[in-house]
Chain A
Amino acid sequence: MKKLVQLNVNGDTHELAVNPDETLLGVLRNHLDLIGPKRGCDSGGCGCCTVHVDGKAVYSCMMYAVSAQDKNVVTIEGLGQNNDQGNGNGRELDPLQQAFIDAGAVQCGYCTCGVIMAAKELLDTVKNPDEDEIRHAIAGNLCRCTGYQKIVDAIKLAAAAV
């Protein structure tokens, strides 16, 4: 009944036995202890679970883990760079993560990792997105705290920094 899958997540390969109907979100959270992707609805409505699969933003709650076999999955935990300066700061943040802090785009933060992953695809593909492009790029993500204004500011800030 269980299926064996090989998942490549944030650069690490994991071999896992999963139920065939388990979602990628379930596997990331429950098997791999990656808590960045979050469950807000389980039905493609909120975007809290957004991760990248082969560089593309997807709802991990709507993808069977088995179908991610051999693909590259990146969660918020995989953003940024390892920092070897030994200054205790750990990972160096992705410009988007830093911009979300600087612009005050984080309140409860429950939506944040998903929004950043959606915005990441935008900045990976469009050089200097305008406000409309930014807003449409995160239209698949709900935020109940910020009214999106500071999220949009943060994405602009990161776009300028990249």
Chain B
Amino acid sequence: MTLPDLSDYFVPTQESELIDLLGRFGERAMIVAGGTFVHGLEARGLLSEVEALIDIGRLGLGGISQDAAGVTLGATTTLAELRRADFVQTDPAFGALQDALDYPPVQIRNVGTVGGCLAASAPLYDVPAALFALDGTACVRGAGGARDIPLNEFFVGLFENALRTDEFIAAVTLPKPAARTASAFLKLETNANDLAIINVAVRITLGENGRCADSRVVIGGGVGECYVRAGSAEAALEGGKAGGELFATAAAAVAHDIEPVTDQRGSEAYRRHMAIVYTRRALERALGRMVTGGTNG
């Protein structure tokens, strides 16, 4: 498959150049970071109107930094780089990220980027679900300046996000987790190189009394146009005593929040059932991490 309308492949070295290009080509511009999603679209003939490919690999947008407020992931940080980061490997609070980053095949991890997987806004991906559960925020820049979009507001539809055509993601920030926080992620897949039938990312923070002080339950895969933040499950967890019983109740509540689809990968009922089972298992996994895990916060 080729791009019949393509006029050029740009490799800007200044952000201003990028913003100009985005302004010039508007809807007909396509940012390329790792290109793995872009190629997927191209292979399905969905890019026939693209006139400009804009490679953002030489803007210096990569890199991971950490400070008192949390971590900042440059948009072109690859999934492999993120997976090697110390906090991902060791901090139970970032366990969801560690789990999610295990799923993509190495060939995708090596080129796929943090910004790319978010901007793709495909709820079938795993890493964004984890970033979402960790309260990530997209730091966006464009002709109108810079702004921050919490991931909560970032995904607005299937392949659709809150970016304006002249904007790009410069970085993603994750706030410093509270003490006694752990997270986990699970994906339902048919084989080890698959897109999620459903996936679940959870984060729990326990109070001093061992009760659930804060939580996030995010579900992806074919459960809606976007990732679903399962408010009912989070409400059920609130103030409860972390453990099997609470997790089972909270997981069951997920059913109210999702609207699974039926397609060739699974039926609505199956997805619903599995979202419940996986939510419970993910919560248990997170709690297990908290107990056995290393230092926190």
Contacts and interface: CB of A to CB of B under 8 A. Distances in A.
Nearest to A45: B193
Contact of B55 (A53, A57, A66, A122): A66
Given A43-B40, A136-B192, A58 B6 contact: no
B9 A3 contact: yes
A150 interface: no
Interface stretch (A16-24, A73-81, A88-96, A105-113): A16-24
B110 A58 contact: yes
Interface in A115-161: 118, 121-122, 136-137, 139-142
Interface in A64-78: 64, 66-67, 69
Given A43-B39, A43-B40, A67-B57, A21 B9 contact: yes
Contacts of B1: 42
Of the listed residues B8, B32, B80, B110, the one surrounded by the most CB atoms of chain A closer than 10 A to its CB is B110
Interface in B31-72: 32, 35-36, 39-40, 42-43, 53, 55, 57
B105 A56 contact: no
B110 A67 contact: no
B43 A21 contact: no
A61 interface: yes
Interface string B7-37: 1110100000000000000000000100110
B106 interface: yes
Contact of A42 (B3, B43, B102, B105): B43
Contacts of B7: 1
Contacts of A50: 107
B108 A59 contact: yes
Q: Is the interface of A mostly helix, strand, loop or mixed?
A: mixed
A59 B37 CA distance: 12
Given A20-B8, A66-B9, A136-B192, A61 B39 contact: yes
Contact of A140 (B3, B32, B55, B193): B193
B105 A47 contact: yes
B88 interface: no
B9 A44 contact: no
Given A20-B53, A59-B36, A62-B36, 5 more contacts: A21-B9, A57-B110, A59-B107, A64-B9, A139-B192
